[in-house]
Structure 1
């Protein structure tokens, strides 16, 4: 139904209140909105992860399950780590970064082992051996000093306040960014012997969001010794042999901030200048898991790794075995070793595959959200609900498509969720407001027409009030006529009140049977009922629904007779059983408002309607309760039908194939009906062969074998065959046609 163009104050008040809510949401930026954005951006990364490039100079030496199986439990003696480092140097590694914090001396070294022993000969002997051996940490420190190595440290809110040595100089251009960097008063750093030997020290800290997912990576943080680079940034610096990290902040040369301090803009190390957020953080575009990125530590120690896998590459060493606990979550993977995240950070830095959320993103999203809200709110009152829903869905789809393209092509994180939420809110609030007004209009139509027109018609009029004019349309309908048999005899002796009670008690279950099967009751004509299916609304499978309704009416009549018999028995009076006939037909009818301009009814006309009435009259002639045309039977062939041949009714020049309805689909599939139908088919074959004597005998046999309800039908058939036998009709080219003076 097309919306009215007139102003609707309630609608505009509701949408104005919702618009204020959208503005407040965009200005306040609650954490829940950030969570929604993260979900959207994570989905983008899952849809289009960064493809892995094996040519990037980054590898991970993984202490994996194979390594533990080959060389024993973790932690390993540092002599083994020294051997691992020596092999990397020998293979030409550009830099080696340990995602391991060596905060304590090697407990497996002989001197440490001797100190832990109780006093005695064993301690004296082992101490003497240890005195002549080089401690493990010293061996490891020598290997570190000979290699381009960066060691990991962890910045902490509590713990040692001792400042680790600064390995890189830090130069600042622009405002001091310290207020924007994450600050930590303590640091858990490698022991002094190892820290002094290393060329770089980098923080292994993450900055996970509220859900524990690592999306933003701080390149710099404030520790007890000042500005501390991340392990990935420090590995990049060591690999280039750079000595200084340059921080470009607001109001630096070329960085206009109009006097405001907005934090970090970029971080430069060697030949790489990296755009960063205000807190010197980046958002890497994660790649899918790639086995080529990982090299087993066992394979390296056993000389099974080709030199080209290491030569000229930046190598991270860390644990990947599940039981060692260094597991994090990224937008792509719920569990990933931390060392692999460091490697992916560096891959993103080297390939330029960084994601950024521009400063102008929030403002743009608020403007787009407002425009989307106004567009949907303005459209809703003007077009049909389906059109406005499709428009809202299309707009939301376009917003997400544009947002995804910005992500995929330019690495920009521009949120489509907030503008889409705004469009959805505009549609939801507006649709509810309009629905409430439509309901008020529906109530008005119901009050005006509900007492005179079928409920389905009322609903159609509510949706299409322009149809309250004369005329109609042609539709394929299933039509039903029913009528009580010998109603005059039944009504004899009944008072007006008793007759009214009888008719209400009879018509109520008949009507319910029709309405429960989605039919429309056209009219009551005394004790007769006329109904149809598939108008004014489309009804799927309407012929079968009409057949079910007829069977329901048969069952309802049996219950009605049972109740009347019980009542008559209690009152000690006579009781006459009620019987009815039902005609069913299928075909095109004219349906619409019929009558005059001052008074009209929603009804149907056409030859199909007339034939249905004739079929109902034939029920008395064949002594059955439900007859249907061949067209209706063909549309619901899975019911239990009996072919009664062709009949030519009054007013029609061509015969009509007629069928008696015996039962539903389950009875049609039964062995009992199959046997019955076979005997009936044999009888009708004799009829078609003009062998009326054998047909009469077959009818008599069937009358004796079927249940009493159908005995009358075969008695009538027996009488018809006997009449044909005595006075054969004029011979035609086919089976004899029943001709009767019936309505």
Structure 2
């Protein structure tokens, strides 16, 4: 029994050392931001698998879309008197805020600009976009903030920067408030629509997309302008109305304005318009339902605890049990990922941990194999001069039959 306890302690020690090695490999990958692409693929998969929520009742999009170009029969830019008419119709219908995801930085005709400025002033609920232009030079980088025309700014209730923050793979999954020191469109809208509670400064997180492209309630621009087709009662009342470019879901972004990849883009390659993304961010902020992610230290602590637990389980168990344990741990991890993401909007970066499971299991199998080879070599050396070779081979194949002292 004493020898068995010694072997058991040795196996546990080796298994824990093996788990520590796997942890240090994961820690290095976390420090170097390794595995980010695989983590993003897993995150996108969870987004697509999550059941869609009902369309937000406080968001309405007025889309500058193909149907409007076909009906209005005018190329862009459209006469600004049309935008003035749009503002007046939406204001009369009870819109809480009218938000333009369109930049009015250059003058058009004097009359059209006058009509639009008057409509903005009379509405008292129009938020206009300003843009940040970045000049890149080998010697310096400079940001220039471009404002709408002064006559438009004078009547607007506020100005906001239109800014999207794609990940390195060009997919929009996250938002950041005031990333360039200027309030973004979403936070300005939320501040005016729902002043309390105040949003945390510099808040960032995962966008809580309520559904795929086309999920938000929308009207075509020409439908709002049509004098012979009154807006349905209650459709606009009390809502945030976002005016911006809309596009076909599978359009080529190179030929479309304001087209972005989102978690819903794979596997079919669809795109979401910028104004839709802004709508999802606004809804996320209004409801406080942004997703959270484990930070680097939280990830390391989580990985350490789980890997040590898995290593203790492997302990002195045979390889086939370890492999089954690996499969069970992976299945349990993915169930936890699904429950935490859907129920608590928490993302725990499972792909690296799955790699840690694989490293720990592979190390355990290799250690078991090396120990087996060393044990067989010792048996051959110990008994080959005194015992029949056939008996030696039988002992090697069945070492548990060996009893010392008789």
TM range (shorter): 0.7 to 0.9
Q: 1:284, 1:13 → 2: CA distance?
A: 39
Q: 1:152, 1:317 → 2: CA distance?
A: 11
Aligned counterpart in structure 1 of residue 207 of structure 2, from 262, 273, 284: 284
Aligned counterpart in structure 2 of residue 228 of structure 1, from 182, 199, 214: 182
Contact 1:366 1:419 in 2 (8 A): no
Contact 2:59 2:216 in 1 (8 A): no
Counterparts of 1:274-313 in structure 2, within 5 Å, are 274-275=199-200, 279-289=202-212, 290-291=214-215, 293-302=217-226, 303=229, 305-313=231-239
Aligned counterpart in structure 2 of residue 206 of structure 1, from 164, 182, 190: 164
Q: 2:374, 2:15 → 1: CA distance?
A: 17
Specify the SS of the correspondent of 1:75. coil
Q: 2:178, 2:352 → 1: CA distance?
A: 31
Query: Equivalent residue for 2:10?
Result: 7
Aligned counterpart in structure 2 of residue 136 of structure 1, from 99, 112, 136: 112
- CA gap of 1:401–1:9, structure 2 versus 1, over 3 A, is closer
Contact 2:55 2:217 in 1 (8 A): no
Specify the SS of the correspondent of 1:307. coil
Q: 2:363, 2:147 → 1: CA distance?
A: 57
Specify the SS of the correspondent of 2:55. coil
Q: 1:435, 1:312 → 2: CA distance?
A: 70
How far 1:462 moved relative to its partner? 7.5
Q: Over residues 119-176 of structure 1, what are the superposed CA-to-partner deviations in whole Å (9 max), with x where a residue is unaligned?
A: xxxxxxxxxxxxxxx52111111111122101111123239xxxxxxxxxxxxxxxxx
Aligned counterpart in structure 1 of residue 275 of structure 2, from 339, 359, 369: 339
Unaligned runs of 5+ in 1: 110-133, 160-182, 241-269, 469-743
Q: Over residues 685-736 of structure 1, what are the superposed CA-to-partner deviations in whole Å (9 max), with x where a residue is unaligned?
A: xxxxxxxxxxxxxxxxxxxxxxxxxxxxxxxxxxxxxxxxxxxxxxxxxxxx
Contact 1:372 1:422 in 2 (8 A): no
- CA gap of 1:146–1:221, structure 2 versus 1, over 3 A, is farther
Specify the SS of the correspondent of 1:155. strand
Specify the SS of the correspondent of 1:286. coil
* Greater Rg by CA: 1
How far 1:6 moved relative to its partner? 7.5
Aligned counterpart in structure 2 of residue 25 of structure 1, from 9, 25, 28: 28
Unaligned runs of 5+ in 2: 1-6
Q: Over residues 518-538 of structure 1, what are the superposed CA-to-partner deviations in whole Å (9 max), with x where a residue is unaligned?
A: xxxxxxxxxxxxxxxxxxxxx
Q: 1:394, 1:304 → 2: CA distance?
A: 60
Aligned counterpart in structure 2 of residue 417 of structure 1, from 348, 351, 354: 351
Q: 1:9, 1:308 → 2: CA distance?
A: 68
Contact 2:117 2:155 in 1 (8 A): yes
Query: Equivalent residue for 1:92?
Result: 94
> What count of residue pairs does the alignment treat as equivalent?
370
Counterparts of 1:91-110 in structure 2, within 5 Å, are 91-106=93-108, 109=109
Query: Equivalent residue for 1:187?
Result: 145
Query: Equivalent residue for 2:303?
Result: 369
Q: Over residues 607-659 of structure 1, what are the superposed CA-to-partner deviations in whole Å (9 max), with x where a residue is unaligned?
A: xxxxxxxxxxxxxxxxxxxxxxxxxxxxxxxxxxxxxxxxxxxxxxxxxxxxx
- CA gap of 1:371–1:87, structure 2 versus 1, over 3 A, is same
Aligned counterpart in structure 1 of residue 135 of structure 2, from 139, 158, 161: 158
How far 1:104 moved relative to its partner? 1.3
How far 1:370 moved relative to its partner? 1.8
How far 1:402 moved relative to its partner? 2.5
Contact 1:57 1:312 in 2 (8 A): yes
Query: Equivalent residue for 2:76?
Result: 74
Q: 1:345, 1:86 → 2: CA distance?
A: 26
Contact 1:219 1:282 in 2 (8 A): no
Aligned counterpart in structure 2 of residue 83 of structure 1, from 69, 82, 85: 85
Matched, 1:320 2:297: no
- CA gap of 1:452–1:461, structure 2 versus 1, over 3 A, is closer
How far 1:195 moved relative to its partner? 2.1
Query: Equivalent residue for 2:3?
Result: none
Q: 1:319, 1:77 → 2: CA distance?
A: 16
- CA gap of 1:465–1:95, structure 2 versus 1, over 3 A, is same
Question: As a proportion of its length, which structure holds more strand?
Answer: 1
Q: Please tell me the root mean square deviation across aligned C-alpha atoms, in Å.
A: 3.5
How far 1:377 moved relative to its partner? 3.0
Q: Over residues 323-363 of structure 1, what are the superposed CA-to-partner deviations in whole Å (9 max), with x where a residue is unaligned?
A: 432101222335100000011111122233211236xx443
Query: Equivalent residue for 2:59?
Result: 58
Query: Equivalent residue for 1:426?
Result: 360
Contact 1:63 1:318 in 2 (8 A): yes
Specify the SS of the correspondent of 2:34. helix
How far 1:43 moved relative to its partner? 2.7
How far 1:421 moved relative to its partner? 2.9
Specify the SS of the correspondent of 2:234. helix
TM-score by length of 1: 0.45
Structure with greater contact order relative to length (CA < 8 Å, sep ≥ 6): 2
Specify the SS of the correspondent of 1:101. coil
Q: 2:276, 2:216 → 1: CA distance?
A: 12
Specify the SS of the correspondent of 1:309. coil
How far 1:397 moved relative to its partner? 2.6
Q: 2:369, 2:256 → 1: CA distance?
A: 59
How far 1:419 moved relative to its partner? 3.3
Q: 2:37, 2:321 → 1: CA distance?
A: 31
Contact 1:365 1:418 in 2 (8 A): no
